Chains A and B, each alone.
Chain A
Amino acid sequence: MLEQYRDQVYRCTRCGDCRDKFTDREPYVCPAREHTGGFEPYYARGRIQVARGILEGRLRYTSRLGDTLFSCFLCGNCEKTCRGQIETLAITRAMRTDLSKTGVKRPAGIEQIVSNVVRTHNLFGSTEEDRAWDVAGPTSGDEELLYFPGCIVRYWLPELASHTTRIIQSAGLHWSTLGKEEWCCSTPLIATGQNTMAEEVSRHNLGLLRKTGVKRIVTSCPGCYRTLKCDSPTWRESNVDVLHVTELLWDFVKKGAIELIHPVPEKVTYHDPCELGRRSHIFDAPREILSKIKGLDLREMPRNREEALCCGGGGAVKASNPSLARRVTLERLDEASRLGVSKIVSCCPSCKMNFEEAIAFASLPLEALDLTELVAMAVGTDDRRKNT
């Protein structure tokens, strides 16, 4: 797989912009390098050097190299900063894939999530009974939209699915799901280099979608969104219209399909998820929605939009090296806390889960919310909180 990127590997001039870069804007610093021993292979320049060593037969994959490869958050900041236009993420993924093929032992957490998805078709290895949000597939036959909640929402954050579907309903759209047959979107498999398995999973989900006849799919998770829209060849060639819930909500607001009538008097900051922001360029829609919510005081973190720091949950690092992931999450929460806000809002279940765990761990006076939760409050579909 790495062989496909040989030209790019040789094109790297080792300038090191991918390490840290202080421009007129907020400085970029590679989070993996910053929170590890920081040797060259922990960031793109050194990793590409290692790739060259492998291509030239000077180096071979080892479990210790694997630990380093799986310390990358795949946040995409280095790729954005590279003036040589080198696909640093694709190269890292290719190395992960090739490492997996060699049979070299990967970090235990990585083996676990791969096994989970293969055995149980969800990220957590949970059983059907564990599913916290369980809605049957198509019923009426006139559904216009298929909602794809993803593993984290189905098993851990069911309230996001409830909010999302209620809002869709209030906008007058008929929706459905893949029901019990929904499998993981395959993001964890792609992030860990299991491309063949990832395609099997994609084919399963796409086959189910075809049976429903629905041509639009909306996801809660930016990871699912990115995989279905871009990263999975099967989905990419399917001509299915893939939306992230943020795009749908902004469309509803613009068309007046939902009205944000209830004030939400809170000081909040918005965290751009890597897959939705830097990698999919959806920066404005969530901010536009937040700006329409009455009483909301939105404060930007210094590193926002393209410069946003990863939440710590990217690249399967949470599985491979949880303490590293936690350190990055705490750095992001510290940045939010300095703004004097009470809430950090994202539109990614993975970010929310990371933030919630780290907030509890460090007893921080912050609450992590998903954008759909705030919208539900403002629309009034959140019965519990619409009067806050």
Chain B
Amino acid sequence: MGHKLLRSLAKIVGENYVSDDDFVLYSYSRDSSPFPERVPGVVVRPSSAEEVSAVVALANRSGTPVIPRGGASTVCGIPAGEPGKSIVLDLTRLREILDVNEENMTVTVECGASWSKLYYELGKLSLYTPCVWFPGYTGTVGGSISEAGNPQFHQEYGLFGRHVLSLRVVLPNGEIVQTGSAANAHGTIFSRYTHGPDLTGLFIGDHGVFGVKVEATLRLFPLSKTRSGCFGFPDAESAFHALYNLSRLQPIATAHTVMRSAEAMGEKGVDVWNLAYCVIGADEKELDQKCGRVARVCEDSGGGKPTEAGMRYADILPRPWDICSMLALRGMTCSYDHIIPRDRSLAYFRKILGWYDSHAQDFKEYNIGRYDWYGFVENSLIFSPYFAFDDSNPSARKKALELFHEVLHLAVRSGAIFVFADQDVGDIAASAFPPTYLNLLKAMKRAVDPGNIMNPRMFRL
């Protein structure tokens, strides 16, 4: 028996773009994580904001949950929805770059476009917007805005949400709203802030619970020149010391830093910590100056020759999408990014290393690889634990998930916040919401989505 909305959906998007075939539904039941599969009821691939609007309005009338989906390369668990009933909105047909305004320095793009495509197309114009690289080549603009992910060159540009100027959003009742300076019906889209609350901000990091993002207007910058390098350190603390001091340099020197042990870069038995960095600048002189400052800080902390893997990492950093692809070689992975303020960072780093030491036997016994990385963004340490294991081995999967949950709770208890969360990590993150915060969130959700059709159960809503 087919999904009850199949025919109605086909009238909206065309027969080719709706399916409730079992094998299609199954293929939409996971993201890139080992978290449990959740099979939806029907999948729709709309091609315009208007089609999205019609689908959401139909879902609203029938009380059917809607799960927006971008590249699905996230690693924190597919939204719960209502298995067997939910409509998955595969938004990857909305992928056009609609406008590049070089005078106002803005780009408007459909939210199903991948960051790598946007970066590629803007590069032809010698322009750049702080792209989110973590989900790899398939990560979409809308997906990252929904998750408030961190951008490439995050030390120069900060968390990328600040560069989102306006969003076009399909609300749970099917209405379409434009945020930002579009608050003036006679105006254009050029500013995030307006004569009223920051409604753009409402939808950043909302994980789709308030609506479906269909277009985003982002701030543009001139495309910079880049240079990258790497230093090797004899131990974790000296590498961390350099990383910390680099984060405090004013003016900012590094655009992007990644600190990892050589083992986490795939060099077994090599007892070195690598600190790869990338600097950006308008010309070679600026790059020389910045690299000189980075070298002084690293050398003062005992930095020297990096390992070969460290150098390979440095090569990738100017275009870090391949980091995710490289991790694909390591097996199925559990991961999430979280940030912790600089003033707690050293204590937290030590706590994490201690936790790993106390679980070393588990990692060894179940052959679970650790590919963590650390960096700094704005005033915070950003840390991504990364466990890789053989997904065909159920006991390794079970143990990896157990360890992952444990380190996740450790992060929550240490006051971390998550730059992306999704269903399974989001559930745990939401456990730390103070009651007043949760009540406000629930009230807002009820006001915008009284039927609770948009990503129900996300953040325990």
A38 to B43: give the CA distance in the assembly, Å.
Answer: 11
Task: With A11-B390, A22-B119 given, name 19 new contacts (CB 8 A).
Answer: A10-B332, A11-B332, A13-B332, A13-B333, A15-B32, A15-B137, A16-B72, A17-B138, A17-B328, A21-B137, A38-B90, A38-B92, A39-B27, A39-B43, A46-B28, A49-B29, A64-B23, A68-B23, A83-B329
**Contact call A14/B32, Cβ cutoff below 8 A:** yes
Q: Which of A16, A41, A84 contacts B137 (CB 8 A)?
A: A16
Q: How large is the interface on B (under 10, 10 to 19, 20 to 34, 35 or more residues)?
A: 35 or more
- Choose from A13, A41, A68 the contact partner of B331 (Cβ within 8 Å): A13
Q: Is the interface of A mostly helix, strand, loop or mixed?
A: loop
Contact yes or no, A84 B72, CB < 8 A: no
Task: Name which of B14-22, B150-158, B363-371 contacts chain A.
Answer: B14-22
Residues in B whose Cβ lies below 8 Å from that of A83: 322, 325-326, 328-329
In the complex with contacts A14-B30, A27-B120, A59-B22, A20-B325 CB distance below 8 A: no
Is B438 in contact with chain A by the CB < 8 A criterion? no
Residue contacts A-B, CB under 8 angstroms, 19 given: A13-B328, A14-B31, A14-B72, A17-B325, A20-B137, A21-B137, A22-B116, A23-B137, A27-B117, A37-B16, A37-B45, A38-B17, A39-B43, A41-B27, A46-B28, A58-B26, A59-B22, A62-B21, A84-B328
Most buried by B among A6, A39, A68: A39
Tell me the bound Cα distance from A21 to B326 in angstroms: 14
A121 within 8 A of B: no
| A53 at interface by CB-CB < 8 Å | yes
Decide: A20 and B27 in contact? CB cutoff 8 A.
no
Q: Which of A1-32 contact B (CB under 8 A)?
A: 6-7, 10-11, 13-17, 19-24, 27
Separation in Å of the B242 CB from the closest CB of chain A? 29
Question: Is A36 an interface residue, CB under 8 A from the partner?
Answer: yes
Contacts of B71 in A (CB 8 A): 16, 19
Given the known inter-chain contacts A11-B391, A14-B72, please indicate yes or no for A24 contacting B331, CB distance below 8 A: no
Known contacts A20-B114, A20-B117, A85-B329: A50-B72 contact under CB 8 Å: no
> Which of A15, A40, A82 is close to B28, meaning CB atoms less than 8 Å apart?
A40
Chain A residues contacting B23 (CB-CB under 8 Å) are 41, 50, 53, 59, 62, 64-65, 68
Q: What is the 8 Å Cβ interface bit string for chain A, positions 49-73, against chain B (1 contact, 0 not)?
A: 1100100001100101100100000
B202 within 8 A of A: no
In the bound assembly, the distance between CA atoms of A229 and B92 in angstroms comes to 39
Contact call B329/A15, Cβ cutoff below 8 A: no
A65 touches B21 (CB 8 A): yes
Count A-side interface residues using an 8 Å CB cutoff: 38
Closest to A64 in B: B21
> Is residue B93 contacting chain A, with contact meaning CB distance below 8 A?
yes
B136, B138, B390: most-surrounded residue (chain A CB, <10 A): B138
Minimum CB distance partner of A49 in chain B: B27
Report B-chain residues with C-beta under 8 Å of the C-beta of A11. 331-332, 390-392
Could you tell me which residues of chain A, from 328 to 363, have a CB within 8 Å of some CB in chain B?
A: none
B24 CB, nearest partner CB in chain A, Å: 5
- Chain B residue nearest to A19 (CB atoms) is B138
Q: Which residue of B lies closest to A8 (CB)?
A: B392
B73 within 8 A of A: yes
A15 touches B138 (CB 8 A): yes
B319: CB under 8 A from chain A? Answer: yes
Please, how many angstroms separate the alpha-carbon atoms of A47 and B23 in the complex? Answer: 9
Contact call A22/B114, Cβ cutoff below 8 A? yes
Complexed CA–CA distance, A143 and B452 (Å): 78
B346 interface residue (CB < 8 Å to A): no
Closest partner residue, chain A, to B325 (CB atom): A83
B residues within 8 A CB of A10? 332, 390-392
Given contacts A19-B138, A83-B325, A85-B329, contact A37 B19 (CB under 8 A): yes
Rounded to whole angstroms, the CA-CA distance of A53 and B324 in the bound complex is 25
Partner pick for A46 among B27, B136, B333, CB 8 A cutoff: B27
Least CB distance from A388 to B in Å reads: 39
Asked whether any CB of chain A lies closer than 8 Å to the CB of B327, the reply is yes
Q: Which of B28, B114, B327 contacts A13 (CB 8 A)?
A: B327
Known: A11-B331, A15-B138, A49-B30. A39 touches B19 (CB 8 A): yes
The answer to whether B73 and A16 touch across the interface, beta carbons within 8 angstroms, is: yes
Q: A16-B73, A16-B138, A21-B116 are in contact. Are A50 and B27 (CB under 8 A)?
A: yes
Residue from the list A16, A21, A59 in contact with B26, Cβ < 8 A:
A59
Question: In the docked arrangement, what's the CA distance between A62 and B24, Å?
Answer: 12
Contact indicator A40/B32 (Cβ below 8 Å) = no
- For residue B141, give the distance in angstroms from its CB to the closest CB of chain A: 13
CA distance A24 to B319 in the complex (A): 9
Q: Residue among B27, B30, B329 with the most chain A CB within 10 A? A: B27
Q: How far is the CA of A17 from the CA of B329 in the complex (A)?
A: 13
A-B pairs with the 3 shortest C-beta distances?
A16-B138, A10-B392, A40-B27
Q: Which residue of chain B is the closest to A53 with respect to CB atoms?
A: B26
Whether A6 touches B328, Cβ cut-off 8 Å, given contacts A17-B137, A50-B27, is no
Is the Cβ of A49 less than 8 Å from the Cβ of B26? Answer: yes
Distance of A332 Cα from B247 Cα, bound (Å): 49
Residues of B within 8 A of A65 (CB): 21, 23
| Of A15, A23, A50, A85, the contact of B324 (CB 8 Å cutoff) | A15
Q: Are the CB atoms of B45 and A39 closer together than 8 Å?
A: yes
Chain B 310-335 against A: per-residue CB contact (8 Å), 1 yes, 0 no?
Answer: 00000000010110111111011100
Q: How far is the CB of B398 from chain A (nearest CB, A)?
A: 15
- B214-246 vs A, Cβ < 8 Å mask (1 yes, 0 no): 000000000000000000000000000000000
Chain B residue numbers with a CB within 8 Å of A22 are 114, 116-117, 119-120, 137
Given the complex of chains A and B, what is the CA–CA distance between A23 and B331 in angstroms? 23
Chain B: which residue is nearest A6 at the CB level? B392
- In chain B, positions 22-46 with a C-beta closer than 8 Å to chain A are 22-24, 26-32, 43, 45
Q: Across the two chains, which residue of chain A brings its CB closest to B17?
A: A37
Residue from A20, A47, A82 having most chain B Cβ neighbours under 10 A: A20
Smallest Cβ-Cβ distance to B39: which chain A residue:
A58
Q: In chain A, what residue has the closest Cβ to B32?
A: A14
Would you call B116 and A15 a contact (CB within 8 A)?
no
A22-B119, A64-B21 in contact; A13/B138 too (CB < 8 A)? no
Whether B16 pairs with A36 at a CB distance below 8 angstroms is yes
Whole-angstrom distance from the CB of A37 to the nearest CB of chain B? Answer: 4
Do A41 and B24 have beta carbons less than 8 Å apart?
A: yes
